[in-house]
Amino acid sequence: MRMFYFVAHQITGDFHLAQDIAQETFIKAYRSLHTLKRPERLGSWLYAIVKRLSLNAVRGRGNLSPLSDFPDIPDAEPLEARIDRNDVRRQVRRALGRLDEASRQIVTLYFFGDLTMKEISRMLDMSEAAVESRLRRAKHHLKKGLLYMMEETKKSSRLDERFEESVMRQLVPRIAAIEIPVSDLRRAVAWYEKMIGAKAPAGHGDGSAMLFLRGGAGGVGIPSLYLVETKDANRLEFRNTRHGYVQSIIDFYTHDLRGYYRFLRDNGADVNEVDFDSEPNRQGFGFRDPDGNSLGVCNVVLDGQTAGASSDHRIVGKTGGHQYISRIASIEIPVANLKQAVNWYSRILGLKLFGDIRNEAETAMMYLSGGDRIGVPCVYLVQNDDPQRIVFVNTKTGITHSVFDFYVRDVGSFLEGLRAGGVAINGASGFFDPDGNSLAVCDALFPGQV
C-alpha cells in the first residue's frame, strides 16, 4: 500500500489524490488478480496499474497541484515554519525532477516507499545491479544535504495510520450477519429479544427474521442475527474433541457476568452450571437457545478492542438495548489444521491474528481491521477432530445456508476472485472454507447499520 501511494504521489504531486489513487490501485488489483498470467511479474504489474492511474489523473486534471497543497498543515504551526516546510518540499521535487524517470522512481520507492533493492528490481523489471547503480548515481546528484531534506519531507507526508484500514473496508469491512437455524420462528424471535436484547425493527417475514442488537458503541446491528426456520437437525455447535466439551459458536459480551448468569437462570434458559465462588476469575460460560444452538457469553476485552466493559453498561441504557448484553464478542469456527486455517482466513478475508501461533497452539483469535472498531466480533478458530461443521440446510427452500455473512461492496468481483483462487462456491453468494464451514458475502445494509 505504501508503494502505491508514493508512486502516485511522485507522479501527481498531490497528497490527497495520491491516497485516492493508491486505494483505487489496491481495489483494481485485488479484483483483477485472476487475470495475472505470470505471478512472478506481480510487482511490475502493480507498478503499471498505479502509474497508469496516476498519469490519467494528471491528464484529467490538466496541471499539478502546488506543493503547498499537501499535506494539510495544522493552523497552530507558525507561518515561518510553514514557509520553510513548503520550501523544502519544492527543493525536493525540483531535484527529483532533474533525474531521469527510472532513477526518479527508484529514489521514490527506496527513500519514501521503504522498499528494498530486490523489491524495486522486481517492480521495475530490472536487475538489482542496475537498481543499485542508478540509486548510487542519483544519490550523488541529489547530494547529502538534499537527502536530509527528503527524509524530513517523507516524515511530513506520511500516510494516515488508518489509511490501509479504510481501503480494507472496501473489501471485507465487517461481519454483516450470523444465520441461525430455528424450528419455530416466532418462539425464537421472542427468546432472542428477551434473553439477548436482539429486536426485529420491521417485524419478520415468512420463514426468517433479521434481528439487531442495540447496545455497544459501534451502532445497531454489527453483525445482525438472521433466524431461519428449518426442519434441519443441524445446530450451531461442535464438540471440542481435545477437551470433551461442546463449543459455543456465538459469544456475546456482557459487563456483568454474574448478573447475566442469574438473569438466564431466573428466566428458565438452558445454561451450564457455574459456581462463581469456586471460580471467582471465570471469564465466561455457555448456554443454549430453545433449539439447542450453542451460545456463550464472556466479559473479556482483547487488546485493540475499544468498546470495553467500562463503557458498555452506560451506553446500553441510552440506546434501549439489553441490560446485560451489548454486542457479539466473537464467533467460533472448528478447523482441522489451525495454521492452514489462519493462513486461509488471512489471505481470503483479510483477517489479522492477535499475537503469534505457537507450535502447540489449539486456538487462534483473529479480527477484521476494517470498520469502526477492530475485532468486533473476533473470529476464534478452534482446532479439533469433530466432523461437525458450521452449516445447515433450509428445508423449505433446499438452500445450504452460510452461517457467517461478510459485507463487501461488490459481491460479483469478490466471488470472481474466490473462484480464480480455487475456493469452493456455495450458491449465489456463498463459499466454503477449507474445512467445509459455510460462509457468504453480501452487499445489503439494513436501516441502523453503520
For residue 126, the tally of other CB atoms under 10 A from its CB is: 16
What confidence score (pLDDT) does residue 242 get? 83
What average pLDDT does the segment 85-114 reach? 66
Whole-angstrom distance, CA of residue 59 vs CA of residue 21 = 14
Q: Compute the C-alpha angle 50/54/60, nearest 5°.
A: 145
CA dist 229 → 180, 195, 241 (Å): 9, 19, 29
| 301 contacts 231 by C-beta, under 8 angstroms | no
For residue 440, the tally of other CB atoms under 10 A from its CB is: 21
Mean pLDDT: which of 48-52, 54-58, 306-310, 386-390 is highest? 386-390
Which strands make up the sheet holding 352-353, listed edge to edge? 270-271, 284-288, 294-298, 250-254, 325-335, 378-383, 363-367, 352-353
What confidence score (pLDDT) does residue 364 get? 92
What average pLDDT does the segment 68-96 reach? 46
What average pLDDT does the segment 98-117 reach? 73
pTM for this entry: 0.62
| 11 contacts 53 by C-beta, under 8 angstroms | no
Diameter of the chain by CA atoms? 79
From 104-113, 141-150, 217-226, the region with the lowest mean pLDDT: 141-150
Whole-angstrom distance, CA of residue 288 vs CA of residue 275 = 18
Residues linked to residue 393 through DSSP beta bridges, in sequence order: 400
Confidence of residue 120 (pLDDT cuts 50, 70, 90): confident
What average pLDDT does the segment 276-281 reach? 89
Q: What is the DSSP string of 56-99?
A: HHHHHHSSPPPGGGSSPPPTTS-HHHHHHHHHHHHHHHHHHHTS
Mean pLDDT: which of 6-10, 62-66, 305-309, 439-443 is highest? 439-443
What average pLDDT does the segment 329-354 reach? 88
Confidence of residue 51 (pLDDT cuts 50, 70, 90): confident
Whole-angstrom distance, CA of residue 167 vs CA of residue 224 = 23
